[in-house]
Structure 1
């Protein structure tokens, strides 16, 4: 039986134990407590950013950097949640998710827009651009503005344009001359220009989502594909192809898109932070894209799993001549004036 003196000591001990626990909880979680006091659940804006490539690619790294900077610069008021690698939505599903408000940001390849806006197929034309500088002049100038204005018709807005890089072509035999493509089947993104490009070389095409490409190459469903080195490395396409040609025959870029209704519903101060941060991240992304593709190509070569070929000037000239008819075929589809504007760059 506990006497009064013992009971008093127990009560005092419990009191001090509670005090210590309270102090520890406040000290250890002070930042979280402040965050919750600064931004209520009702005030927090959640932006879901879905994309289909790996986190380690230029696009994946830029999306992550954008999220971190926005969360920091808004003191937690805006939380950008990034879902890479088709974790949330696959190719072909993202647009529906964006328009229905299930995600707020996506960054599809320009070719994915051509189903609704054929003018965007401009960026798929072979050998249209010789350098990143030419691409950026098109993106950031009158061509980019004209293409972006088209998106408003479907309740979408273009917020930025990011680089992936120049495409190289892979297969299980060397591709050095136009005739080497004959009878092969290539995976492409949905694009009339890309269909015409390979048809002009005597090859067939299959349009399929990006997340299915590895298994299609491995199984032999398709014989080859076109990708920048960053995609080839992160998705390990070089492990299921025996030959890679450094052709730089086409450009692959992305458009950061949002739902127009969602964007216009945001407070003006929040929109400004997002826009300013996107401009900064876009510049950074473009710088690392070129660097990463060079580094990734070296890693592919060092793997020893694929033979890498470089086109000679004579071979490159033959490719350009063989693909020239694609421009005439696509004039009505894309717009002759738009093509001429790009060629003048």
Structure 2
């Protein structure tokens, strides 16, 4: 959004007058004290400082403006200028993004960063070109864990008869739980706490920082630390708006985003560790940490997903991810 009396508007593809004040709406769906929430605020502050107030980034957390099922449409239409959805949400535009939902695709953040900062990330970004979206960065959330209200889930058969919330737009995530004998319900992130507290679903998968900040652990007495899947975000800006900005403003945004991205990744790791200790100390949750042999059991159940979705995701992308994984410990 451009705040000015002039008729020329950035989102319409016209060049923004360098003298105009530029207001950027940054909408996201998680709490302010999560890695994404903290990074969005830091980015906003630094951009305003470094542009001498010419750019104001207004951050709207916790689905205040749009739910995660609405964000992409709002971005494409120019109702907001920046969003940072989970990678799974992009599957509604490009099914190749379901690659990152494959269980046990990566084993640690180092593998993730090498892949997404390299050729794999470029290829995924390229799938968004037709949709009036310009990608700015990959941000971390962390690795996902399993919570539920019924019983410990240690072995694959423990999932049978349970119902799990899954993120919208990803068939891989649905089939992941179906492989374990569980049922699934797709649901926006903002609805999950109510669904858990009312027993509409038995459990969910998420990072520790989300489990803690959204208070999921208060309704979920069982937590399995499985690290079975990576959850990350893609920071996206409306493409027409982006190329309407003066070049010096784009440079500040790009440089600041690169700096904040490194900071965000460090914060994500720290916050997940810190929040895990808080959940432990709450005394409300029985925690099981997956052993290597249990991991092997889960991986055996999930192995068919790589073949099942190869034609949807693309053989080239899957092999690129696996090559990256093999080159790092």
> How does the TM-score come out when normalised to structure 2?
0.92
What corresponds to 2:33 in structure 1?
A: 56
**What's the secondary structure of 2:229's corresponding residue?**
strand
Q: Distance in 2 between matches of 1:181 and 1:116?
A: 31
What corresponds to 1:189 in structure 2?
A: 167
What corresponds to 1:289 in structure 2?
A: 268
**What's the secondary structure of 2:66's corresponding residue?**
coil
What corresponds to 1:253 in structure 2?
A: 232
Q: Distance in 2 between matches of 1:299 and 1:288?
A: 16
| Cα offset, 1:314, TM superposition | 1.2
Corresponding pairs, count: 306
Q: Distance in 1 between matches of 2:162 and 2:190?
A: 21
Q: Distance in 1 between matches of 2:298 and 2:197?
A: 27
| Cα offset, 1:311, TM superposition | 1.1
Answering whether residue 108 of structure 2 is matched by residue 131 of structure 1, we say: yes
What corresponds to 1:317 in structure 2?
A: 296
Q: Identify the match of residue 313 of structure 2 among 320, 331, 334.
A: 334
What corresponds to 1:230 in structure 2?
A: 209
**What's the secondary structure of 2:316's corresponding residue?**
helix
What corresponds to 1:344 in structure 2?
A: 323
**What's the secondary structure of 1:79's corresponding residue?**
strand
Q: Distance in 1 between matches of 2:56 and 2:306?
A: 44
**Larger RCO of the pair (alpha carbons < 8 Å, separation 6+):** 2
What corresponds to 1:141 in structure 2?
A: 118
**What's the secondary structure of 1:128's corresponding residue?**
coil
Deviating beyond 6 angstroms after TM superposition, the runs of 4 or more aligned structure 1 residues are none
Structure with bigger gyration radius: 1
Alignment of 1:56-95 (within 5 A): 56-95=33-72
CA contact 2:115–2:121 (8 Å) conserved in 1 = yes
- Listed one character per residue, the Cα deviations across residues 315-338 of structure 1 (whole Å, up to 9, x for unaligned) are 111011111111111101101121
CA contact 2:18–2:246 (8 Å) conserved in 1 = no
**What's the secondary structure of 1:300's corresponding residue?**
helix
Q: Distance in 2 between matches of 1:183 and 1:330?
A: 25
Q: Distance in 2 between matches of 1:259 and 1:45?
A: 14
| Cα offset, 1:42, TM superposition | 6.3
What corresponds to 1:168 in structure 2?
A: 145
Superposed CA RMSD = 1.2
Instruction: Return the structure number with greater helix share.
Output: 1
Q: Identify the match of residue 212 of structure 1 among 175, 186, 191.
A: 191
**What's the secondary structure of 1:130's corresponding residue?**
coil
- Listed one character per residue, the Cα deviations across residues 70-92 of structure 1 (whole Å, up to 9, x for unaligned) are 00000100000000001111111
What corresponds to 2:11 in structure 1?
A: none
Q: Identify the match of residue 305 of structure 1 among 281, 284, 288.
A: 284
**What's the secondary structure of 1:220's corresponding residue?**
coil
Q: Distance in 2 between matches of 1:94 and 1:116?
A: 12
| Cα offset, 1:242, TM superposition | 1.2
What corresponds to 1:19 in structure 2?
A: none
Answering whether residue 78 of structure 2 is matched by residue 108 of structure 1, we say: no
Q: Distance in 2 between matches of 1:243 and 1:112?
A: 27
Stretches of structure 1 that go unaligned for 5 or more consecutive residues are 1-39
Q: Distance in 2 between matches of 1:129 and 1:168?
A: 14
Q: Distance in 1 between matches of 2:292 and 2:19?
A: 61
Are residues 286 and 152 of structure 1, via their aligned partners in 2, closer, same or farther at CA, if it must alter by over 3 Å?
Answer: same
Q: Identify the match of residue 47 of structure 1 among 24, 46, 50.
A: 24
Q: Distance in 2 between matches of 1:324 and 1:99?
A: 36
| Cα offset, 1:232, TM superposition | 0.4
Q: Distance in 2 between matches of 1:195 and 1:344?
A: 26
Q: Distance in 2 between matches of 1:126 and 1:41?
A: 47
- Listed one character per residue, the Cα deviations across residues 277-304 of structure 1 (whole Å, up to 9, x for unaligned) are 0000000001111111011111011111
Q: Distance in 2 between matches of 1:313 and 1:268?
A: 51
